[in-house]
Amino acid sequence: MEENNNKNIENDMSNTFVAEVGQKSAIANNDIEELIPQNTATNFSETTNTLDSERPAVIPAENVNNVSNVNDLSDINNLANEDIPGFEKESTIYSEPKQKKTNPLLIILLIIIALAVGAGGSYYYFEILNQKEVNSQNTGNKESKTDKVSSEELKPDSILVNSLIKRYDAYVLSSIEIYQTLYSKEKMLANEMSEDDIKYLAAKTALSMSDVKGKMSFTSEQLHEAAQMLFGPSVAITDGDINLMANKQGVVFKYDNANQTYNYQAPDGLGGMNTVTMDRKTVKAVKNSDNIEITVVVAVLDSATNKVYKNYTDSAAYDEISDVAADNFDINNNYTDLNQYKYVFNYDTDNNNYYLESIELVK
């Protein structure tokens, strides 16, 4: 009897415990359902039902290999890798992303394109832009150099300067004939000179060409050549006697038509020697791109009066320079008060020669 009573007490306590656990479980489930959104619980339930429906109740024995010893980890791993009907492998549920294979030809093509673009950019920068800059700099340098060349100073006593001046110094008896021929006008233009004047100036050059000894003579051909050397290839002259250019007082070269030669003879009516002479100094020479300009100072000295003058006419000198004597005059130290004349010689590129254009009084 007592034993039955004890069993009844244990059963009552067990039932009470189960009832309390069930009540608490129900309360917990209600709390969880309140925390989880309704749609989430539904999806979870549906997913669970789906998995339950697709999972087989029993795994066929023929699909399990070597499961006798479950303590062998290798067998467990092999079992996991076996194909089991109704189950998908784990790899189908999650797998690492596959790396795409890169085409080597595509990489090479991209490298070539990059190199081409870089080369094109480099070419444009270094060849186009830099060339423009270089051209701009070169243009500025050329202009600067041209300016310097166009105003190049020549030495007044250089061979070129002296030869250009002296080739037009023609005279017979006295150097004053040079003054009368070249400096008697404020401006003398070569293209306005008469044929007689051209022949007179060319006679000196023709004499330098002659090979006749002991006689002042030259040929007609030598005179024509000399005239073209002084005034250009377009100059044309006719043969005939050459008169003294300065005062037309007599013939100085008689033309021999039979032999086509010119022979010197003393001019008529000159009387005695002239006491007036000329002195000259080159003070400046400038070479331009197309011509040469030479400036000279000229003094007229009269030994009869022992005076120095600035000008001279056919009859007498005038414009005396004070405090200076002719017998001790030094033009290198006393030229600031003298007249200045500028020669202009144009350069002929076809003939590589300079020809007289003009002689002008500039001071």
When pLDDT is cut at 50, 70 and 90, the band that residue 70 belongs to is very low
Percent of the chain whose pLDDT exceeds 70: 60
Give CA–CA dist 354/88, Å, rounded. 110
Highest mean pLDDT among 90-99, 100-109, 139-148, 285-294: 285-294
Q: Supply the range of the domain harboring residue 240.
A: 154-361
Question: Given a cut of 60, is residue 57 above it in pLDDT?
Answer: no
Q: Would the pLDDT of 66 be above 70?
A: no
If one counts the domains in the chain, the total is 1
CA distances from 277 to 62, 149, 203, 315, 340 (A): 149, 38, 21, 13, 17
Q: Is the pLDDT of residue 95 over 70?
A: no
291 vs 112, more confident: 291
Whether residue 127 is contained in a domain is answered as: no
**Is residue 57 one of the residues assigned to a domain?**
no
Residue 337 lies inside a defined structural domain of this protein = yes
Strand pairing class (152-153; 187-189): unpaired
102 falls within a domain: no
Can you list the positions of beta strands (E) in the chain? 152-153, 187-189, 217-219, 242-243, 251-256, 261-264, 276-287, 291-302, 307-312, 317-325, 339-348, 353-361
Share of the chain above pLDDT 90, in %: 39
Is 40 domain-assigned? Answer: no
* Choice between 257 and 172, residue whose per-residue pLDDT is larger: 257
Residue 78 belongs to some domain of the structure: no
Is residue 194 a part of any domain in this protein? yes
DSSP string computed for 110-128: HHHHHHHHHHHHHHIIIII
Distances from the Cα of 217 to the Cαs of 209, 254, 260, in angstroms? 10, 9, 11
Per-residue pLDDT at 106: 79
**Is the pTM above the cut of 0.85?**
no
What is the tens place of the pLDDT at every residue in 154-172? 999 999 999 999 999 987 6
Tokens of 259: 């032999």
The separation between the first and the last C-alpha atoms of the chain, rounded to the nearest angstrom, is 169
270 in a domain, yes or no? yes
Compute the Cα dihedral for 341, 347, 348, 354 and give only its sign: positive
